[in-house]
Structure 1
Amino acid sequence: MKFAPKVPGLLLAFAVACGGGQGSTVPATPSAPAEPTPAVATQPAPIDPYLAARAEYANPGGMWMPQQMTLPGHAAAFQKLGVKIDPKNLADPLSAPLGAIVRLNGCSASFVSPDGLVVTNHHCVQSALQVNSTPDNNLVEKGFLAKTRADERSAGPAERVYVEQAFTDVTDAVRGGLDKIADPVARKEESEKRIKQQVAACEKGRPEVRCNVATYFRSGMYVLIEELEIRDVRLVYVPARSVGNYGGEIDNWQWPRHTGDFSFYRAYVGKDGKPADYSADNVPYKPKHHLQVSDKGVSPSDFVMITGFPGRTTRTKTALEVKHDVEWYYPYYLELAQQKYAIAEANLKAPGETAIKAGVLKQRIQNGLEKTGGVLKGLTSGDLLQRKAALDDKVKAWAAAPGREQYKAALAKLEQIITEEQRTARADYDRSNAFSSSQLLASALGIQRWSDERTKPDAERKAGYQDRDMRPAIASHKQLTKQYDATLDRALLRLALVRAIALPAAERPWLPLLLGVKPTQKLDEALVDKTLDSWYRTTKLADEKVRLDLLEKGSEARLRASTDPFIRAARRVWKIYLAEEKRADARTGELMLVAPAYADAMREVLGGLLAPDANSTLRITYGTVKAFKPTDSPFTTGAQILKKNTGKEPFDAPQPLLAAIEKKELGPYASSDGQLPVNFLSDLDTTGGNSGSAVLNDKGELVGLNFDSTIEGVASDVVFDGSIVRKIHVDARYMLWVMDKIDGADHLIEEMGLRPRL
């Protein structure tokens, strides 16, 4: 079936010179003390002619690609809201302020000084704290402050800061002629070949650059993204857990909040200005742009926007897909997550570093557990499913109109593929979960893949296993050494295997192979326990040197001769692993020709204003500071912490913080009513991956950090509803106050172009 997807206008190729990103910065003017002035008659505050429009603004949602900001709808909205910045200025992702926004592993962040200082969320640096912690010096609990740059600690060998350098539309180069390839596997492989060619050309002769091709609009659009990959990332400042995670699981996804969810990294490069592995000789990176942090704050109904890297939404899914998620996937995931949570909780008082690692694991699981539960509740307790079905009907009606036969046929084929995929959903999920639940088993499977791919010419290898991928693979294994815990790893693998036992034998042929028993043997928990006891007692894969040796030099002969139980288990299931991968490739190859039709039809139904689903690429969302009700305040205050605090976790703020609030030692960080703003709400459109995103005013200044959503609106990942979507941000004034008054981070305040006042 020939189908030409409707792709938005081509992206400009915003290319910049490499070599460390030296260049001009956004001016950072230190705040000066006010000069005495003669007394004058008080003038009434000027009337804001746009205040009423902002107060009444109903956010339609949208995580917009930068170049989409030129669409007429945005210009009209900005004009109505009285926004000073021209939306066209936001269409260039390499200019200020977007040029200061960076990507971390799973979070967003921003440069806030000319010396590579990076601000993000407290919960985004937990892994870095964990790898630097010991039972006697638990930084996860205590926090960390480097008084000098020499004191800044490595965030771990796998941590990265990615700086955007170029965006190029390569849709035609990737998709052109794919409809002429009849075999879906061959079609998928051809698209991968073309993507690898684009990446290779982008990275050629530039080891400091990392390129990837991202897909948008259900694979209707492909964009080549070039990033500077900074590999030396260091911890600079993290407040104590009792500030950065105040309220803990009880307050997570809830309002009101009083959480100081902020932290700082610094990006380092070699003396030549190019990315380098960690070294004491490295120097701070000099970004082309950095944000000015504002200590002036925001007010109710003020315009705000967020730029960052949202991870995943599913708004362009069909109603059939959403129905399946509601009826099967979400409930199944929640059951599994609850069991994983119990494992983490049971090890919070375990000896050694297990307790520290269990605490980090528990926080991560709880976050996903509560959000997914909120999505399911939101979709089933209101009218969101009905609204999704109604939009789906409009999409199908548009495609069924005369002259659109290709669209109608594509949508029918899409539903056929989806139905077939759903038929094996649980078996596929349990198999994937089992293969990925253990760090050691996943390592063994990865080592086997590297062994297979190493025999091929580099250009013919599977993406992720080329020469360009060895360095990050080594870094990941070094990070694994710091994060691995045998007790937790065994418990999570056991859970996955026991759950898989419940499947009919025909749907889990891999399980007896993995366990090394005959297909006819009875599988039960006792067998799983006996097998895992032997594996974890005799394996050598927990040894970093062993893993790295096999990763870099593991030949087929060496792996065949290996006696390591995890390597042997991986080899026993390898044929099934490859067969299932090929089945998935065939499905992907079929979807490539028909899935874009659904996104295109949806765009037409919505009048052209459709943001692609989140995919961890740079986006913009805008709206206003807004409470749930016009009569409520969108801010929380320090005084409320005094009433909320119990002295017991998670409501156990540090005594110096409580004392300073009690004495009203708030300095210039207090708002006009004399209160210390802590967190505030907005109606912005964000999701996971936006953690750490800068909240900007209409001057492009940082006024807060995004860190959470209220549970009522999380189903908007599937169907956006601006009336209930509220995002929670830490106010920059609270961040600065904690730095200034509580933790003594004066040198960082000065580095950001401000002055300590307390």
Structure 2
Amino acid sequence: MNKKTLVITSLLTLGIIQSAYKPWEEGMFPLSEIHKVDLKKAGLKIDQNEIYNPNGISLIDALVNVGGCTGSFISNEGLIITNHHCAFSAVQQASTPGHDYLNNGFVANSKEKEIEAKGLTCRITDSYEDVSDKILGAIAQIEDPASRLKVINDAMKNLALDAEKKQPGIKAEVSEMFIGRTYVLFKYKTIQDVRLVYVPNRQIGEFGGETDNWVWPRHTGDFSFMRAYVAPDGSPAKYSKDNVPYSPKKFLKVSAKGTNEEDFVFILGYPGRTFRHRPAAFIEYQQKYLLPYVSDLYQFQNTTMEDVGKKGKATEIKLATRIKRNANTLKNYQGKLQGLKGIDLVGQKKTEDSDLVAFINNNVDMKASYGSLMTDIDNLYKLITGDAKRDLWFAQIYTSTNLLNIARTINSFKATLDAQPIADKQRYFDENVTKLKTELSSMYNNYEIDVDRRIFKRMLTDAAAFDVNQKVNAVNKITSMGRSTTDIIDQYIDNTFGLTKLKDQDYVLDKLLASPKALNMYNDGLLLFEKDLSTQIAAIKPEKDRREGTLNKLMGNYVNVKEKFLKKDFIPDANSTLRLTYGYVRGYWPADATYMKPYTTIKGILEKGATGNPDFGYPAAVQSLWNAKDFGPYVKKDLNDVPVSFLYNMDTTGGNSGSPIMNAYGELVGVNFDRAYGATINDYAWNESYSRSIGVDIRYVLWVASKIDKADFLIREIGVN
């Protein structure tokens, strides 16, 4: 390397030679805000209206929300590309010990061989409308916090219902953009028939497992292909052999050229939730209560499920999706805790809040309107943290124990049935029992009694130790018998699980739900325990509604004041609505003297595989193809290898999984799937120095499809030469 090249390389590494355009500090831009950024100046090579055009077809029309993730159409026959982990639950449900698609992958080389992606639907954004005036006008004269929130929720629901009546076939939702302040009505088209087309071997799609999750460098082929189907007349329809591939308004062109360092890139997707416009008290609650509690509980749950899964292949497959979801949340929360403490975000927020108080007090009009704002927020959070352990327990109890969730569903149906006039009971039962059975069957899919018993014991033990002002009445009733708490809980679980017939799916579906009389005559300890839980939850609901209503108004005021103080408009926090984010392919320095380059390659897969860690297993074909340098047209010449994953400084969070990464020409060059560990804090704060997201490079996707799984039919369909 000559001296001139060395200097230029060093400058690039230091981030000095970068795009002349400085992007916003952060930004997940809603459709209504895209016009506020100059993407052409940032590096976009197409007209900005080609991204979003409310009066015509644009790239937005190629986006779908699939199973809580993002996906994009890449052919005129409804072909969708998204993440491997977004298809995981559907693949698990399609798998058996004899057809283990979860581990071996799945390739349908014709449409006839595509299989139903159970539990997945596609949602396409059709249009949006700001309805803030209608919502806020309804609460103008209401002071009571709980009543105010109820009117807001009712108005949101009614606006959505009215939109659906006026436009049959669409699904409408009103989303709160700024809490207590702005509201937007979104209209969606929902496709109900989604099928699996191609899912790579798990050693490709989940390479690195939990060892590599949320970290960089990454070598995960986190991609999958699905297809959307509709009825022959083009209308949404449930799975049927008569359905035909959906023809989208727009599909993305796939570019096998990929990207280079410092290239302009952008993402369209459906990010979940962020909480950046919140005060110190909110962040402190997250750091002190929610994040550590859930992390500890999920660690216990996964250890339990992994142990029970050793019973056999069928049990292992049954528990796989829950383990994966838990593990993802667990490591994310651990990263957030580390990040919050690392940058002392609570301390930063307290300083900001103190400055805000000074700003309010130094302005007569502001003080008259908002003089008690920060005190009111702090006092509310004192109440919230005072009940934190009990409230977090209630939030987890039903998802922790499948049988308890089944009991809640049955109790709820039974209560509604009991409330019907005698003459209407049979009719109500007949009209609703099929839907109930379908719901319960889904719950039984992931039910394993040994898991339920162990986790239920953990939940009861935790609740028994709560302070007297946070007691769970149902648990207190069991443990207040004067003997050892552990012995009482063990005996209670043995008796309850031993006697309940809810653990027998066939009994529940065929006998218990055979008639209103059969349902009414049956009871057991688990149903009684759940009824006690529901009674307490109902008793504390009015106070929780009051607090939530108060918080809604306070947070609206907080954002108003902060925007005035900082003299800037904020971008609304993410809320699962369609957003744009943009930036550049770029590495970073996570620690002193440690520069992370923005690309990984197949060579790195082999290097990790040599460590002996089982998370780094890979198909033998990867090694032989790499040894032969059989990269085809997917090689990145400056690396002399196929790029696997890459980094960029775009603003993403959960829900952006599967989002298309597009180049300056609007062509798909990768699929977003994760963030670097330091960027797990993105939900609360974003900073260009450490916030990096990770995508699978389209060149690796195409290489695996062609060379490993012989899925050239897909490459032809998406038009890659």
* Secondary structure class of the residue paired with 1:322: helix
Deviation larger for 483-492 or 335-344:
483-492
Residues 121 and 471 of structure 1, relative CA distance in 2, 3 Å threshold = farther
Letter in 2 for 1:600: N
Report the counterpart of residue 676 of structure 1 in structure 2: 642
Change (3 A) 1:194 1:382: closer
Match of 2:680 in 1: 714
For 1:606 and 1:543, the matched residues in 2 are separated by 60
Q: How does 1:9-88 map to 2 (within 5 A)?
A: 52-54=17-19, 57=22, 60-71=25-36, 74-75=37-38, 78-87=39-48
- Structure 2 residue corresponding to 1:492, chosen from 452, 455, 468: 455
Identity percentage of aligned residues = 34
1:416 aligns with 2:416: no
The Cα shift of 1:361 comes to 2.7
Is the contact between residue 281 and residue 377 of structure 2 (CA under 8 Å) also seen in structure 1?
A: no
Q: 1 CA distance for matches of 2:353 and 2:538?
A: 35
Instruction: Give the deviation of 1:580 after TM superposition.
Output: 2.2
Deviation at 1:734, TM superposition (A): 0.5
Retained in 1: the 8 A contact 2:18–2:262?
no
Relative to structure 1, is the Cα distance of residues 196 and 81 closer, same or farther in structure 2, using a 3 angstrom cutoff?
Answer: closer
Q: 1:690 to 1:454 in 2, by over 3 A?
A: farther
Aligned partner of 1:117 in structure 2 is: 79
Q: SS in structure 2 opposite 1:724?
A: coil
Contact 1:179 1:593 in 2 (8 A): no
Can you list the C-alpha shifts for 1:568-605, whole angstroms capped at 9, x where unaligned?
Answer: 33223332121122222122222233221112223334
Q: Whose helix proportion is higher, 1 or 2? A: 2
TM-score by length of 1: 0.84
Stretch of structure 1 that moved more, 472-481 or 371-380: 472-481
Q: 1:662 aligns with which of 622, 627, 634?
A: 627
Can you list the C-alpha shifts for 1:259-308, whole angstroms capped at 9, x where unaligned?
10000111112222122221122211121111111111111001111111
CA distance in 2, matches of 1:101, 1:194: 28
- Distance in structure 1 (CA, Å) of the matches to 2:596 and 2:533: 58
Aligned-pair distance for 1:701? 1.2
Q: Which residue of 2 aligns with 1:313?
A: 274
Specify the alignment match of 2:104 in structure 1. 142
Give the residue type in structure 1 aligned to 2:75.
S
Q: Contact 2:71 / 2:81 at 8 angstroms: preserved in 1?
A: yes
Q: Give SS of 1:114's match.
A: coil
1:623 partnered with 2:597? no
Give the AA of the match of 1:652. Answer: G
Q: CA deviation at 1:165?
A: 1.3
1:345-744 equivalence runs, <5 A = 345-400=306-361, 401-404=363-366, 405-452=368-415, 476-512=439-475, 517=478, 520=481, 522=483, 524-542=485-503, 561-629=521-589, 633-646=597-610, 649-673=614-638, 674-744=640-710
| Alignment match, 2:144 | 183
Structure 2 Cα separation of the partners of residues 101 and 702 of structure 1 = 12
Q: Distance in 1 between matches of 2:433 and 2:219?
A: 43
Partner deviation per Cα, 1:328-382 (whole Å, 9 max, x = no partner) = 3322232222212211232342225221233333322221111111111111123
TM-score normalised per structure 2: 0.88
2-structure distance, mates of 1:169, 1:227: 15
Q: What is the distance in 1 between the residues matched to 2:576 and 2:508?
A: 30
> Does the CA-based 8 Å contact 1:540-1:546 persist in structure 2?
yes
* SS of aligned partner of 2:234: coil
AA partner of residue 586 (structure 2): K
**Aligned to 2:130, which of 149, 155, 169?**
169
Which secondary structure does the structure 2 equivalent of 1:650 belong to? helix
Is 1:213–1:225's contact at 8 Å kept on the other side of the alignment? Answer: yes
**Amino acid paired to 2:69:** C
1:335-346 aligned at under 5 Å gives the runs 335-346=296-307
Q: Report the CA distance shift for 1:744/1:619 in structure 2 as closer, same or farther (over 3 A).
A: same
How far apart are 1:540 and its partner, in Å?
4.1
Which of 78, 101, 108 is the equivalent residue of 2:63? 101
* 2:649/2:692 contact within 8 Å kept: yes
Aligned pair in 2 of structure 1 residues 309, 353: CA closer, same or farther (>3 Å)?
Answer: same
Deviation at 1:310, TM superposition (A): 1.2
Partner residue in 2 for 1:46: none
Q: 1:115/1:473 Cα in 2 relative to 1: closer, same or farther (>3 Å)? A: farther
Describe the shift of the 1:282–1:570 C-alpha distance in structure 2 as closer, same or farther (beyond 3 A).
same
**Counterpart among 191, 196, 209 of residue 230 in structure 1:** 191
**Deviation larger for 646-655 or 537-546:** 537-546
Give, as a single letter, the amino acid of the residue that structure 2 aligns with 1:735: V
Alpha-carbon distance in 1 for matches of 2:528, 2:681: 43
Q: Could you say what the CA RMSD is over the residues aligned between the two structures, in angstroms? A: 3.1
1:546 CA drift (Å): 6.6
The 1:302/1:166 distance shift into structure 2, 3 A limit, reads: same
CA deviations 1:715-757 (Å, max 9, x no partner) are: 23212121011111100011011111110111111111223xx
Which residue identity does 2:445 align to in structure 1? K
Specify the code of the residue in structure 1 equivalent to 2:662: L
Task: Output the amino acid matched with 1:247.
Answer: G
Deviates more, 1:51-60 or 1:385-394: 51-60
Query: 1: CA distance between counterparts of 2:157 and 2:434?
Result: 17
The one-letter amino acid of 2:264's match is F
Q: List gaps (5 residues or longer) in structure 1.
A: 1-49, 458-464
CA distance in 1, matches of 2:20, 2:436: 50
Hey, what does 1:33 align to over in structure 2?
Answer: none
Distance change >3 Å, CA 489–CA 371, structure 1 → 2? same
CA–CA separation in structure 2 for the residues paired with 1:606 and 1:551: 61
**Residues 691 and 708 of structure 1 are in contact (CA less than 8 Å); yes or no, is this contact kept in structure 2?**
yes
Question: Structure 2 CA distance, aligned partners of 1:175 and 1:169?
Answer: 12
| Stretch moving more, 378-387 or 446-455 | 446-455
**How far apart, CA to CA, are the structure 1 residues paired with 2:566 and 2:509?**
51
Q: Tell me the distance in 1 between the aligned counterparts of 2:627 and 2:535.
A: 66
| 1:512–1:168 Cα change, 3 Å | same
Q: Using a 3 Å threshold, how does the CA distance of structure 1 residues 485 and 666 change in structure 2: closer, same or farther?
A: same
Cα distance in 2 between the residues matched to 1:372 and 1:257 = 19
Give the whole-Å Cα distance in 2 for the aligned partners of 1:568 and 1:100: 49
Q: In structure 1, how many angstroms separate the alpha carbons of the residues matched to 2:475 and 2:667?
A: 58
Match of 1:159 among 101, 115, 120: 120
**Change in 2 beyond 3 A, CA 1:117/1:476:** farther
The AA in structure 1 aligned to 2:718 is M
Distance 1:485 1:59, change over 3 A: farther
* Alignment size in residue pairs: 690
Which SS does the other structure have where 2:29 is aligned?
Answer: coil
Matched, 1:296 2:257: yes
User: 1:694-726 deviations in whole A, cap 9, x for unaligned?
Assistant: 111122111101111111222232121210111
What code does the residue aligned with 1:684 have? Answer: M
Cα pair 2:106 2:201 within 8 Å, conserved: yes
The worse-fitting range, judged by mean Cα deviation, of 357-366 and 126-135 is 357-366
1:597 partner amino acid: N
Identify which range, 344-353 or 275-284, moves more after superposition: 344-353
Partner Cα distance (2:52, 2:566) in 1: 21
Distance 1:135 1:115, change over 3 A: same
Contact (CA 8 Å) 1:117, 1:264: kept in 2 or not? yes
